[in-house]
Amino acid sequence: MKKAILYCMPLLFIGVVSCKDKPQSNIIIAHRPVVVKQQKPQAIGDAVRTSNISWVGSKYTVKVSVKCDTSLPLATDGSTKYYDNRVNISILRADGSSFFNRTFTKSDFKPYVDDNYYDDGALLGIVFDKVDGESLKFAVSVGNPDKTTDEFVPLELTVSHVGGASIEKANNEDEQ
């Protein structure tokens, strides 16, 4: 009988040890979520250009101010968003009085650009081009806001000697 107890003792020990509850862990392994940073829209404007000119027998100062406007709808190049611009043209007489002062946005040029450029593009800028008789000519660009591309619609803004403004598609002399 002692021999039977000696043989059963290891089996009993194994049985007791194997029935013991295993410790439970409260540790849950989970991967951190990947946080995608929302890229802040980029500014494409903020420039001031001043030109002193002689026009219709007098001296004038033409000031073109391009400002980024966060209140306008955003433009995009497909991957990056950009703030659109507001452009102010101010023409001052020699005595400092205002001859012409108007602010333009992309919506002023909607009839002259296709829907793709209007919906996703931006008013890239307006620059004084030349004195043309009794008119002042300005080059206007509406298009892709990415500065590394040259995708835009060239327009021409004309200010007459009586203060009126007109817009038309620019004649591209390279194509002729």
CA distance 56 to 112: 29
pLDDT in tens, the chain (176 residues): 666 666 666 666 666 656 555 666 677 777 787 776 678 899 887 899 999 999 999 999 999 999 999 999 999 988 899 999 999 999 999 999 999 999 999 999 999 999 988 999 999 999 999 999 999 999 999 999 998 888 999 999 999 999 999 999 987 654 33
CA distance 66 to 115: 23
Q: In this structure, are residues 88 and 103 in contact, taking their beta carbons and an 8 Å threshold?
A: yes
Q: In this structure, are residues 60 and 135 in contact, taking their beta carbons and an 8 Å threshold?
A: no
Residue 80 structure tokens: 């990056």
CA distance 81 to 70: 12
User: By three-state DSSP, how is residue 151 classified?
Assistant: coil
The DSSP bridge pattern shows strands 58-69 and 84-93 to be antiparallel
The predicted model scores a pTM of: 0.75
Q: What is the distance, to the nearest Å, from the Cα of residue 134 to the centroid of all Cα atoms in its chain? A: 36
In terms of Cβ atoms closer than 10 Å to its own Cβ (0-12, 13-18, 19+), residue 72 is middle
In terms of Cβ atoms closer than 10 Å to its own Cβ (0-12, 13-18, 19+), residue 147 is exposed
Per-residue confidence (pLDDT) for residue 27, from 0 to 100: 75
Strand extents, DSSP E, 17-134:
47-55, 58-69, 75-76, 81-82, 84-93, 98-104, 122-132
